[in-house]
Structure 1
């Protein structure tokens, strides 16, 4: 199951705001006390801590619901475990965690979960606050209604735990939706390769590469190669200059008697200025943009096996500190995880192939490429130049085809490979499940004389004549403002 969180603002009056602040204060005190006790005494059992502190806090906060006390103790246990794990790794040097704010967790018994789920258009909640239930109205938005429609159609389920939190003097209710992964037939095969400033993408449309359409439209047989601009490296370089400028401005205030300077990066003034740079927010936005672009339609998505720490293996032979820093700041795993998560939600399948020699082999002649003056452009011995990023995504597609996996690994198939010796054996670089999936997919999309895989419409294949092939092509008699689908498909006649 996939989990998606949606925050909805609450309509809070002065009286209700006072009640929520009182509950938040009591909840925060419980979390702080229990977390400190758990760290000092090395106790991480929620059941044991609940037996020690439940009666105490029930007597101290009599108006607080019993389940809120239990949730506060469990939340304190999670914070204590995380703090102790980070302390073992040497990432913290304090005796116990400093908790400044918390999110109040309302279980099924402390808010109107059953009534909320049965409603077609829910617009209010019922929360247990200091002795009795209070009606709270919410302000739903477009994203909330999108996931609520999935709940009504049976594609998702609303979690029973509701999270209420305060941010910038506004109260929000956070709903958690558990979404079922979609199962749809793939329409294309997509391979992508993550680089410092771009993401190289190779896309093949399955419907336009079957026999009949391929004979009429040879241009669609060639994979569509393009790049998505991310500028992760340029972003890291820019923020590095900004941080160095902040350090130089703060240095005079932290001079030592010996003439040296204290570590500026550990000061409160430095952290206060750096947190306004929004570096992490910009990265997250670009990662989500890449994931949304690659999973627009159901597809078979192919990428390299990055491993647990791809940046570490890339900077082993790099001595320049600036280059090492840019590579370390490139979110390779974050992009891969975002694409995988979005692919499950939209009905795509993701497969990983070996990264062995993907960008060093010509995808046309399968010969080793030679170096040129440009790092991104390599030279094939057959007499042409190849972009190494596009070669990488093309070779990844070769590795998932039934016949091309050997060509993507060895340079010369006939001279270095004995077919009889390797006949009937499986390739260790490609899981057998991928080959089975590709065979089943290609078999389902095979055309015949009785049912050719062509567009069932009377208008020509390219009604706009010399229009740009990479954009939606509009017929001449179509009203202004309406477009055909990508690839020249119209919206009618199917």
Structure 2
């Protein structure tokens, strides 16, 4: 007999106020006078930052201590430098010193003292800069400098989509170009039903999503990201490019830049997050994800081979959680310990999984492509044969819905089957096909 899970008191939607922040990266250019002024500010900032950084590492100084020790001396040494640039400099020094001490405790620091390589200047007050007619006007010791910007779609969406431009501006020099970082904020009111849950299980090559309505499982989505295969492929390409050569050789540097691994992975992560956001908004649901950052650290500590550690570091699971947190949805993190090894219907441990593979023909715009889906199947208590990732997603949802993750009945899909909608992040929320995991005989 099936065990039913009943919810009460979830009839009304709950509301949550959420302030989101977006950083828009722009490319700009200025004339020779502007580049000279920015270059002088950059060199002064670099000198101050290195001195403050050394002091902060040796003495464990805070921002207030650095202000007391260095502010008046640097005001006399650089009277032409804006005051707020000096204040942002010792905030930067404290942040870098904290990071260096953490690396040194773990034995990952390669030098005895931290060194300043790249410098990003922060103007923290809008009195010293303004955005006017497609240009950034910046106050410097040589007067107001105009930085012409190359607009793109993300900036236009923020400017005319209800986002507020913050008073902080960051910039850095990159040859003759100027890289600008603009920050936008916006307040959202998120409505959600605590009984509707989108449980997300993040794996190496897929993201499995289990949708619960009123505490009952109704749908399962499997988004094939193939991030694990991409990481392995790019690692092999880098190995071939750098074989017998130094990574500082010009040809090697140029070839490595053409790989664009990070851009490709980020594109998949953002498209996957968009699909999860649409499912959550459509069902007024809470997005529940596993605490993958904690699990990732454990996997790194256990890994013996450097290739395995590299795959874990390049996995991008923490990036997906961060991107989801920056969406106008309610995101909750729960422990994902043992979620893949416990039967969600009986609470008993699953002893083993049987590997399996299916091939699906997907018709594209020009040709038919075959997709291989790797599964690890096990028979659970109610007679269903479920994939390991589906089990993990269901148990993550139960961790949020119930304190102990007690068993529950299936929803509208019926007691004898679970339909898994196979999806591609590049094609949006439209399923490629539906896999039916049926009851075994």
What TM-score do the two structures reach when normalised by structure 2? 0.68
Aligned to 1:306: 291
Q: Which segments of 5 or more consecutive residues in structure 2 lack a partner in the other structure?
A: 1-18, 357-374, 410-420, 424-428, 432-441
How far 1:198 moved relative to its partner?
A: 0.8
Aligned to 2:379: 379
CA deviation profile, 1:230-273 (whole Å, cap 9, x unmatched):
222212322333344456424xxxxxxxxxxxxx8xx7569958
Aligned to 2:45: 27
Looking at structure 1, the residues matched to 405 and 347 of structure 2 have their Cα atoms a distance apart, in angstroms, of 11
Relative to 1, partners in 2 of residues 1:110 and 1:37: Cα closer, same or farther, differing over 3 Å?
A: farther
Aligned to 1:123: 134
How far 1:401 moved relative to its partner?
A: 5.2
Looking at structure 1, the residues matched to 353 and 226 of structure 2 have their Cα atoms a distance apart, in angstroms, of 25
State which of 119, 136, 141 in structure 2 corresponds to 1:102. Answer: 119
Q: Mapping of 1:22-421 within 5 angstroms?
A: 22-39=40-57, 41-42=58-59, 44-108=61-125, 110-112=127-129, 123-151=134-162, 156-185=163-192, 189-203=197-211, 223-246=218-241, 248-250=243-245, 272=253, 276=257, 277-296=259-278, 297-298=280-281, 299-303=284-288, 305-306=290-291, 308-311=293-296, 313=298, 326-327=311-312, 329-342=314-327, 346-350=328-332, 352=334, 355-358=337-340, 360-361=342-343, 371-372=353-354, 374=356, 376-380=376-380, 385-398=385-398, 405-407=405-407
Looking at structure 2, the residues matched to 102 and 275 of structure 1 have their Cα atoms a distance apart, in angstroms, of 23
Give the structure, 1 or 2, with the largest relative contact order (CA under 8 Å, sep 6 or more): 2
Aligned-residue RMSD, C-alpha: 4.2
Looking at structure 2, the residues matched to 325 and 11 of structure 1 have their Cα atoms a distance apart, in angstroms, of 37
Relative to 1, partners in 2 of residues 1:372 and 1:320: Cα closer, same or farther, differing over 3 Å?
A: farther
The answer to whether the 8 A contact 2:22-2:183 is kept is yes
Aligned to 2:20: 2
Looking at structure 2, the residues matched to 68 and 315 of structure 1 have their Cα atoms a distance apart, in angstroms, of 39
Looking at structure 2, the residues matched to 245 and 37 of structure 1 have their Cα atoms a distance apart, in angstroms, of 43
Relative to 1, partners in 2 of residues 1:31 and 1:384: Cα closer, same or farther, differing over 3 Å?
A: closer
How far 1:295 moved relative to its partner?
A: 0.6
Relative to 1, partners in 2 of residues 1:131 and 1:50: Cα closer, same or farther, differing over 3 Å?
A: farther
How far 1:372 moved relative to its partner?
A: 3.4
Relative to 1, partners in 2 of residues 1:293 and 1:381: Cα closer, same or farther, differing over 3 Å?
A: closer
Aligned to 1:443: none
How far 1:183 moved relative to its partner?
A: 1.8
The answer to whether the 8 A contact 1:358-1:396 is kept is no
Question: Does the residue aligned with 1:2 lie in a helix, a strand or coil?
Answer: strand
Looking at structure 2, the residues matched to 361 and 313 of structure 1 have their Cα atoms a distance apart, in angstroms, of 23
Looking at structure 2, the residues matched to 381 and 183 of structure 1 have their Cα atoms a distance apart, in angstroms, of 37
The total of aligned residue pairs comes to: 372
Relative to 1, partners in 2 of residues 1:200 and 1:15: Cα closer, same or farther, differing over 3 Å?
A: same
How far 1:400 moved relative to its partner?
A: 5.1
Relative to 1, partners in 2 of residues 1:48 and 1:357: Cα closer, same or farther, differing over 3 Å?
A: closer
Looking at structure 1, the residues matched to 274 and 313 of structure 2 have their Cα atoms a distance apart, in angstroms, of 24
How far 1:128 moved relative to its partner?
A: 1.5
Question: Does the residue aligned with 1:347 lie in a helix, a strand or coil?
Answer: coil
Looking at structure 2, the residues matched to 240 and 44 of structure 1 have their Cα atoms a distance apart, in angstroms, of 40
